[in-house]
Structure 1
Amino acid sequence: MSEVKKIATRESYGNALAELGKEHEDVVVLDADLAAATKTGVFKKAFPERHIDCGIAECNMIGVAAGLSTTGKVPFASSFAMFAAGRAFEQVRNSVGYPKLNVKIGATHAGISVGEDGASHQCNEDIALMRTIPGMVVINPADDVEAKAAVKAAYEHQGPVYLRFGRLAVPVINDRPDYKFELGKGVVLREGKDLAIIATGLPVANCLEAAEKLAADGIEAKVINIHTIKPLDEELVAAAAKETGKVVTVEEHSVIGGLGSAVCDVLCAQAPTKVLKIGINDTYGESGPAAELVKKYGLDAESIYEKIKSQIL
């Protein structure tokens, strides 16, 4: 792909919260001693009276957010995905999900692209966990434009929302006048008839590059960006499978329980199709530079291209 601007979606999260705070006085942001890393410090600087640092106590933070939501506030509880979805799962399930409270969870540093923080902080299971909570909306934006739109959409949605953001800067691919974000609706980024690549989050830009490589080989791949994993755009997924006959899912998440599993759930019921799932293959990550980890775990454009060529075509 030609050189484009790159921004980490965690940066987008912080900036979007600050903008949201200007428009809505009911927005409250909570953090667990990670405001600098999650970028909620941007909101804190603008609205210190509406920012609550709960300390290294993520479970308590979710409880505080739940309580605030019952008073008419719209809390955004923020931490690393490993802590927001992992450590605080019980509180998210029982204190937010069960009573259907209007709490938004901003989970940053998701996936292996956390890099040097290593396996303990590289959360590749959060989408699977959040998908299982009844009524939970799960959003995984692909770039800066989409991340900002997702934060606004989360505010406007009545009910619990899980927002997934990354640490590594990613290409801005949605910076165009006709871009529209709609909860539960996928976005077709490229048309193609030979196979459908359905991706979410960080690898979406890499999938577009992989599609260009396939096109050079005479293979036209349809590329779909799924920013909302739950509720999934079942109509678009089924239509793409029927149109192309082959589906590839790509995600910076375990191949168990994430986008690939959600897509397979739809296709086995509506349009049985051969599916190749590309993601983290039932293993932990490791410490190392983020870009090198993305390549090692097969989520860079070249690896996606090679896997498609060798495994599904």
Structure 2
Amino acid sequence: MGKIANKQMICEVLMEHAVQDKSIVALCSDSRGSGSFTSFADQYPEQFVETGIAEQNLVSIAAGLAKCGKKAYAVSPACFLSTRSYEQCKVDAAYSNTNVKLIGISGGVSYGALGMSHHSAQDIAAMSAIPNMRVYIPSDYLQTKALTEALLEDEKPAYIRVGRNAVDAVYEENNVPFEMDKATFVTEGEDAAVIACGEMVGPAKDAAELLAKEGIHVSVIDMYCVKPLDEAAVIKAASGAKGVVTVEEHAPFGGLGSMVAQVVSRECPKKVLNMSLPDAPVITGTSKEVFDYYGLNAQGIAAKVKEAIA
């Protein structure tokens, strides 16, 4: 199978289950096209709700449907879902503990050329701060499939952020290590630990390969479960390492780096360096151009690891 965008995989999994499970309902805020949910709307019109450009209504309607026994999947650009409808996410979904899965599409800098208004560089911090809200950022379509299937089995609210474009697979078909709310060790090494989430896991894996050629052996941890954070995995990775590097497509405050630093400082103190987007409007460009500009690529991560263990 070729590259598939994570958002498309979510739709495919839901369509597969919606044949038998009529409680599955997808909702979009004029985002069925960008969210890859057009096929769901066409095939299951009675299980689809279009709210138009009204993200607050999107979340509230999803919460209402969930209270009526539906499995509600609210699909909307992450930049709007995590800001315009923040109160509804907090009150209607999380505080009311409803079975709403908030699918933040085109997360991070996926909308690159559209600028800061369309970037979601604050959503990890914002959504993680809400009690009862889980936060997931899968790294590739294979992990996204496993996560989506797992989320169908519970009735708790969650925020799932996925990118806009297809990315290279981190894992292999028929070999996707996945345990709900448990991080995955992509590689293991004793020199340093690189803890990444989402689209940053691929470059972290590539960085480990570059470093291995220089005799530096690195553990790469796929922390798709940003909240609840797998603290045991953080401690395991950091305890035997000379330094820790976190990598995220997010602002430098309140995200994965902050969470990991809290755990490491409490349990096994050592240097933690955070790689993230800057605390400033991000340059205009494609995701790759933005990542390369800020060093969020294999070469940049490898250099940061050397700094962490120096």
Q: Mark yes or no: TM-score above 0.5.
A: yes
Cα RMSD after superposing both structures: 1.5
Distance apart, 1:153 and its partner CA: 1.6
1:182-232 CA-partner distances (Å, limit 9, x unpaired): 221000111100000111000111111111111111100111111111111
Task: Please tell me the residue identity of whatever aligns with 1:295.
Answer: D
Q: 2:49 aligns with which of 35, 52, 60?
A: 52
Q: Which residue of 2 aligns with 1:26?
A: 23
**Structure 2 residue 34 is matched with structure 1 residue 41:** no
The TM-score, its normalising length taken from structure 1, stands at: 0.95
Q: Which residue of 1 aligns with 2:153?
A: 156
1:252-271 CA-partner distances (Å, limit 9, x unpaired): 11121111111112112222
**What SS does the aligned partner of 1:229 have?**
strand
Q: Which residue of 2 aligns with 1:116?
A: 113
In structure 1, runs of 5+ residues without a counterpart are none
**What SS does the aligned partner of 2:42 have?**
helix
Distance apart, 1:299 and its partner CA: 1.2
Q: 2:9 aligns with which of 9, 12, 34?
A: 12
In structure 2, runs of 5+ residues without a counterpart are none
Q: Which residue of 1 aligns with 2:139?
A: 142
The TM-score, its normalising length taken from structure 2, stands at: 0.96
How many residue pairs end up in the alignment?
310
**What SS does the aligned partner of 1:90 have?**
helix
Whether the 8 Å CA contact 1:253–1:279 is kept in 2: the answer is: yes
Provide the C-alpha distance between the structure 2 equivalents of 1:95 and 1:182, rounded to a whole number of angstroms.
Answer: 28
Provide the C-alpha distance between the structure 2 equivalents of 1:293 and 1:69, rounded to a whole number of angstroms.
Answer: 38
Whether the 8 Å CA contact 1:191–1:223 is kept in 2: the answer is: yes
Distance apart, 1:297 and its partner CA: 2.2
Q: 1:81 aligns with which of 49, 60, 78?
A: 78
Provide the C-alpha distance between the structure 2 equivalents of 1:19 and 1:275, rounded to a whole number of angstroms.
Answer: 42
Q: Quick one: percent identity of the two aligned structures?
A: 38
Alignment map for 1:182-261 (pairs within 5 Å): 182-261=179-258
Whether the 8 Å CA contact 1:137–1:161 is kept in 2: the answer is: yes
**Structure 2 residue 127 is matched with structure 1 residue 130:** yes
Q: Which residue of 1 aligns with 2:103?
A: 106
Whether the 8 Å CA contact 2:245–2:308 is kept in 1: the answer is: no
Provide the C-alpha distance between the structure 1 equivalents of 2:306 and 2:177, rounded to a whole number of angstroms.
Answer: 32
**Structure 2 residue 296 is matched with structure 1 residue 299:** yes
